Amino acid sequence: MTVAEKILAAHLVEGDPAKDRELGIKIDQTLTQDATGTMAYLQFESMGVARVKTDVSVSYVDHNTVQIGFENADDHDFLQSIARKYGVIYSKAGNGICHQLHLERFGKPGTTLLGSDSHTPTGGGIGQIAIGAGGIDVAVAMAGGAFHIPTPKIRAIVLKGRLGKGVSAKDVILKVLSQFGTKGNVGWIFEYTGPGVATLDVPSRATIANMGAELGVTTSVFPSDAVTRQFLAAQGRAKDFTEILPDRGAKYDDTFTIDLSSLEPLMAAPHSPGNIVTVKSMKGTKVNQIMIGSCTNSSYRDIRTVALYLKGRHVADDVEVGIACGSRQVVNMLAKDGSLAILHSAGCRMLENACGFCIGAHMSPRTGAVSLRTNNRNFEGRSGTKSAGIYLVSPETAAASALTGRVELPTEHPVARVPSPRKFPVDDAMFLYRATAGRGVRGTEIVRGPNIAPVPKGEPLADSLKAACAIKAGDKITTDHIMPAGARLKYRSNIPEYAKFVFEPCDPGFHDKCLANKAAGIANVIVAGESYGQGSSREHAALCPMYLGVKAVVAKSIERIHRANLINFGIVPFEFENPEDYGKIEAGDRFELKGLRKAVEGDGRLVFKTPKGEIRAVARLSGREKHIVLCGGLLASL
Ligand code: MIC
Ligand code: SF4
């Protein structure tokens, strides 16, 4: 068996991998972050369960930490009180970024982790099957319910050789992205194997697993081996180690080999993480901003490497450099070994240990800027500046370029490799309620400021609907297009308010149009091209459209997490049976969805007529998914 098969087999509660399209797995650990967490816990509350039923559930506050206005602080208080009541561990704002912290303090080889954040697969670096999902799926898991995944196909990414100096894990995952792209990988698990795995430390493995999210795979996983053992021991968690290796002769559905020694520095050019070019081809390009950090590259190894590049030097005058570390542990280590002083002296702006710039909530670049960033997504406008071009790079490329303000090749002046620390300084003081984890404290009063609005519930699916195409979008529409974050992030707990910004970057009139249709008894339909709903796990990209009366999406293809979110909020996820039918529908077209309910109950096929002709759509739903859609969403189905 492969590593993924072993862990899945040990957690299988529904379905047979040999026969069924969908598997139900038991979830051992959950994580939430504040931007998706308020909704997840509101939904958990409405399930009427007395306490969480997982081994470990952690609520992190790392996204909305800017606190302009009362909204973020209201959310934090709500999350803190909910955590205390239901037995969730609460990680206070300032402690660090959820995925880095979870890897350091909780991630356990051989277990399953479900997180309401698409980069939860970071845990694959420590040998977990770690999966990103919508908040309501995490709420169900906290209540002891199974999580469902498409029966996976498993691809071995065989690593050989050893990375050269100035080349690092980010270049490995950018190489994988150049091969497999950001679409067409739905349902796959990428399993890293081969002799090169042993040359990568756990944070490097985590970087690679993290950006598997950009491939659109279910998750990525590394074996749990001697390197994992050493990392856990250095975190004071030797007892959490279990060895999990693939069996000799384990069979994979596909294999792709990478020779680490032949890799060169790579970057993802605007506006997709799959748009890979060599750093060499961009050498000398003027750079305005360099941002280092995010859950992809904010470990001690990453930031210490940057310090080694900048030691005794200063960043170029015409470039701004910001650094956000992944956790307090990382900062404490950098303080102790002198790196923090090096970075300050070099003129870097040291930011809070949080998502910040990665989600457009801090340090948006100037108009038309070239910004090199070590994070994982460079979708247009995500940085907060629509005209900026974001290039995703390794910490090495970022640091080398900071010195001249131009794109530089880090391999030309490499620094020493940072060894894995023998002992990490452990300080869990900002993880609250560990003593009552899993039990909770009865009678805790939940704090609900005015930003905490109730969760809307869907209605049962109608048999036939008068409908209108509310928007016709193109290929690779991300959830950042559907439900922007950045300055809008603070409305996450208030659906009527947040819904005002659905499709803001594509069609600012979308909200008003939808509400007018809804008032006139007309259902809204979203039409899109390939790979609809790429990127983040934010269920708001389904929940807010549901609130606006969207009843169906018809796309050429839909990404896994977003498809599940649509179902969870009672929106039928149709795909065109013939992709050419996309040309037969325009924004504003009116049509009738006759026999919609019957179609969902049956084989999912629906034919409807637009002014340009007949459209054949199909929603391939499992029995479980049909039930949810027919009820009007997961909450309504419980
Ligand atoms: C992101 O990187 O886009 C986010 C913000 O972390 C999202 C979650 C969210 O929208 O709150 C994700 O990746 O799932
Ligand atoms: Fe935070 Fe960025 Fe990671 Fe999302 S991708 S969890 S915003 S650091």
- Exposed/middle/buried for residue 119 (C-beta within 10 Å: 0-12, 13-18, 19+): buried
Question: Mapped to the 3 state alphabet, what secondary structure does 418-442 carry?
Answer: CCCCCCCCCCCCCEECCCCCCCCCC
- Helical ranges in 159-273 per DSSP H: 169-180, 202-210, 212-215, 226-234
Rounded CA separation 626/619 (Å): 9
CA of 117 to the centre of ligand 1 (A): 5
For ligand 1, mutation pick of 38, 66, 359 (most atoms within 8 Å of CB): 359
Reference 451, options 404, 492, 403, 392; nearest CA is 492
Rounded CA separation 281/159 (Å): 25
Instruction: Please indicate whether residue 536, judged by its CB atom, sits closer than 6 Å to ligand 1.
Output: yes
- Exposed/middle/buried for residue 529 (C-beta within 10 Å: 0-12, 13-18, 19+): middle
3-state helix, strand, coil in the chain (%, to 5): 35, 20, 45
Owner of token pair 């027919």:
630
Reference 193, options 123, 118, 254; nearest CA is 254
Rounded CA separation 211/191 (Å): 13
- Helical ranges in 548-633 per DSSP H: 560-568, 596-601, 623-631
- Measured from the Cα of 118, ligand 1's closest atom is 14
Owner of token pair 């109608």:
462
- Measured from the Cα of 358, ligand 2's closest atom is 2
- Whose CA is closest to atom 1 on ligand 1? 536
- Which ligand is nearest to the Cα of residue 358, counting in written order? 2
- Whose CA is closest to atom 12 on ligand 1? 536
- Measured from the Cα of 63, ligand 1's closest atom is 5
Which helix or strand (DSSP H or E) is residue 84 part of? helix 71-86
Rounded CA separation 11/6 (Å): 9
Rounded CA separation 303/96 (Å): 14
Rounded CA separation 549/516 (Å): 10
For 419, other C-beta atoms within 10 Å of its C-beta total: 9
Residue 144, phi-psi category: left (phi > 0), alpha (psi -120 to 50), beta (remainder) = left
- Exposed/middle/buried for residue 176 (C-beta within 10 Å: 0-12, 13-18, 19+): buried
Instruction: Please indicate whether residue 543, judged by its CB atom, sits closer than 6 Å to ligand 1.
Output: no
Instruction: Please indicate whether residue 537, judged by its CB atom, sits closer than 6 Å to ligand 1.
Output: yes
Rounded CA separation 280/291 (Å): 20
- Measured from the Cα of 538, ligand 1's closest atom is 10
Q: Which amino acid is at 401?
A: S
Which helix or strand (DSSP H or E) is residue 255 part of? strand 254-259
For ligand 1, mutation pick of 536, 559, 565 (most atoms within 8 Å of CB): 536
pLDDT of residue 236: 98
- Helical ranges in 520-613 per DSSP H: 540-547, 560-568, 596-601
CA of 36 to the centre of ligand 1 (A): 8
Rounded CA separation 44/125 (Å): 29
The residue length of the chain stands at 638
Distances from the Cα of 580 to the Cαs of 354, 529, 589, 607, in angstroms? Answer: 44, 10, 17, 14
pLDDT of residue 451: 87
CB proximity list for 309: less than 8 A, separation 6 or greater: 396, 399, 400, 402, 403, 410, 413, 415
Rounded CA separation 162/616 (Å): 50
Mean pLDDT by 10 residues, the chain (638 residues): 98 97 98 97 96 98 95 97 98 98 98 98 98 98 98 98 98 98 95 98 98 98 98 98 97 98 98 98 98 98 98 98 98 98 98 97 97 98 97 98 98 97 98 98 96 90 97 97 94 96 97 98 98 96 98 97 98 98 98 98 98 97 97 95
- Exposed/middle/buried for residue 445 (C-beta within 10 Å: 0-12, 13-18, 19+): exposed
Rounded CA separation 377/302 (Å): 18
Q: Which amino acid is at 404?
A: T
CA of 290 to the centre of ligand 2 (A): 17
Q: List all residues whose CB is within 6 A of at least one atom of ligand 2.
A: 63, 97, 117, 119, 294-295, 355, 358-359, 375-376
CB proximity list for 269: less than 8 A, separation 6 or greater: 275, 276, 277, 282, 378, 389, 391
Rounded CA separation 79/88 (Å): 10
Give first-to-last CA distance, the chain, whole Å: 36
Structure tokens at 114: 């479900």
pLDDT of residue 116: 98
For ligand 1, mutation pick of 117, 382, 482, 483 (most atoms within 8 Å of CB): 117
Instruction: Please indicate whether residue 118, judged by its CB atom, sits closer than 6 Å to ligand 1.
Output: yes
Rounded CA separation 448/42 (Å): 11
Taking a C-beta distance cutoff of 8 angstroms, is the pair 558, 185 a contact?
no
Q: Is the dihedral of CA 34, 35, 36, 40 positive or negative?
A: positive
pLDDT of residue 457: 87
Burial 479-495 (b: 16+ CB within 10 A, else e): bbbbbbbbebbbbbbbb
Distances from the Cα of 553 to the Cαs of 174, 237, 300, 490, 632, in angstroms? Answer: 31, 46, 43, 26, 15
Reference 638, options 568, 535, 546, 542; nearest CA is 568
CA of 355 to the centre of ligand 2 (A): 5
Structure tokens at 405: 């303000």
Q: Which domains does the chain have, with CATH numbers?
A: 3-262 (3.30.499.10), 267-402 (3.30.499.10), 465-637 (3.20.19.10)
Rounded CA separation 524/465 (Å): 10
- Measured from the Cα of 480, ligand 1's closest atom is 3
pLDDT of residue 7: 98
Owner of token pair 């969480």:
52
